[in-house]
Amino acid sequence: MTFELFDGEGVEPRREIIAEGALVLRGFASGTGPALLAAIDLVASQSPFRFMETPGGHTMSAAMTCCGELGWVTDRRGYRYEAMDPVTGQAWPRMPEVFLKLAAEAASEAGFDDFVPDACLINRYQPGAKMGLHQDRDERDFSQPIVSVSLGLPIVFQFGGPRRNDPPVRVTLGHGDVVVWGGPVRRNYHGVLTLKAGDHPLTGGYRYNLTFRKAS
């Protein structure tokens, strides 16, 4: 794993390269943390967090909601994107401008210009929650990157290879860290280990993750 610096607005956030096409922008979203969390509350007031069920009947340990033109859903029928929230029967909430701006800026910093996501998955982790190694492969346009934003409690992120049994790199992510990956590693396996108990001044005992995608 290598490190380098880039110029920011009066600061020098650290770029932590995980693999070719994948990096961490340390603290990139920390300045907008309160605005992002307020936007999450607004989205959740329209489409509440829920624990989705996988096709195999497993209930996910992280609660989820979505915003944007499309939302990701899972149930006994499989994984897919839908324009309507199956819980509310309404369209998913519009993606907040603060989300769109952050996603585009982070993608650009990582070398992916003109990124305009149409789906944002919002995961809420409480102690004991985790996300096993998986691929993001339900999208139609794999030329676009994934932008993943961490807010609140720290967690260990795993970034593996194109095969499930490839050994993953483990990286601890803190509040405001943003991971961007695309190009040759766009469909690499990734996940997070179990969230440990803690207390964050902005999120209390939770960690939130925003995952931006171009799904259509």
Q: Please tell me the predicted confidence (pLDDT) of residue 7.
A: 36
For 61-135, list the strands marked E by DSSP.
63-68, 71-75, 78-82, 119-125, 131-134
Report pLDDT digits (tens) over 65-103.
999 999 999 999 999 999 999 999 999 999 999 999 999
Per-residue DSSP letter, 92: P
Instruction: Please say if the pLDDT value at position 3 is more than 70.
Output: no
Among 64, 114, 115, CA closest to 92? 64
Tell me the C-alpha to C-alpha distance, in Å, between residue 145 and each of 36, 49, 86, 184. 20, 25, 26, 10
Instruction: Please say if the pLDDT value at position 11 is more than 80.
Output: no
Lowest mean pLDDT among 12-16, 17-21, 177-181: 12-16
Report pLDDT digits (tens) over 119-169.
999 999 999 999 999 999 999 889 999 999 999 999 999 999 999 999 999
Instruction: Please say if the pLDDT value at position 10 is more than 70.
Output: no
Tell me the C-alpha to C-alpha distance, in Å, between residue 193 and each of 8, 82, 86, 100, 125. 30, 28, 28, 27, 11
CA distance linking residue 216 with residue 158, whole number of Å: 26
Q: Among 3.90.1330.10, 2.60.120.590, 3.40.50.720, 2.40.50.180, what is the CATH number of 12-213? A: 2.60.120.590
Q: Please tell me the predicted confidence (pLDDT) of residue 141.
A: 87
Quick one: 25 exposed, middle or buried, by C-beta within 10 A (0-12, 13-18, 19+)? buried
Q: Please tell me the predicted confidence (pLDDT) of residue 14.
A: 87
8 Å CB contact between 64 and 92 = no
Instruction: Please say if the pLDDT value at position 2 is more than 70.
Output: no
Q: Estimate to the nearest angstrom the gap between the alpha carbon of 104 and the chain centroid.
A: 14
8 Å CB contact between 120 and 211 = yes
Q: Please tell me the predicted confidence (pLDDT) of residue 99.
A: 98
Buried-exposed string 103-119: b where 16+ CB fall within 10 A, e elsewhere: bbbbbebbebeebebbb
Instruction: Please say if the pLDDT value at position 190 is more than 60.
Output: yes
9 pLDDT band, cuts 50/70/90, is very low
Rg (CA), the chain: 16
Average pLDDT across the chain, whole number: 93
pLDDT-above-70 percentage for the chain: 94
Query: Whats the size of the chain, residue-wise?
Result: 216
Among 98, 52, 104, CA closest to 79? 52
6 pLDDT band, cuts 50/70/90, is very low
98 token code pair? 């603060």
The pTM assigned to this predicted structure is 0.93
